[in-house]
Amino acid sequence: MNLEMAKTFQQYADVMFLPYVSHQLATAQRVDVVWDVYIQDSLKSAAREKRGKGIRRRVTPTTLLPKQWKDFLEWMRIRLNCLNSCPNN
């Protein structure tokens, strides 16, 4: 199964995410996986208010991947590459 065949978050985790983390563990001493939480009445919450709410989804193993999931992942890859290549000021 490849990314195009993954329809749910569980399938995506099985096909892409978990194998990627396992591969990283084979060549690294440590792999950190970070999730972020917006706490109500926090500075991050205020920044999020300014950006707008967007679409929120409750993600479960059986939740279907968004139709533009592949485009979103590509956008994130480009954004991370840009951030990593920008000099720190």
Per-residue pLDDT for the chain (89 aa), expressed as one digit of tens each? 566 788 898 998 998 889 988 988 898 888 888 777 767 777 777 776 777 666 667 788 998 888 887 777 777 777 777 766 776 54
Whether the model clears a pTM of 0.75, i.e. scores above it, the answer is no
Q: Is residue 70 part of a domain?
A: yes
Which range of residues forms the domain containing residue 70?
A: 1-30+60-89
Q: Is residue 26 part of a domain?
A: yes
Spatial separation of the C-alpha atoms in residues 38 and 47, rounded to whole Å: 10
Q: Is residue 46 part of a domain?
A: no
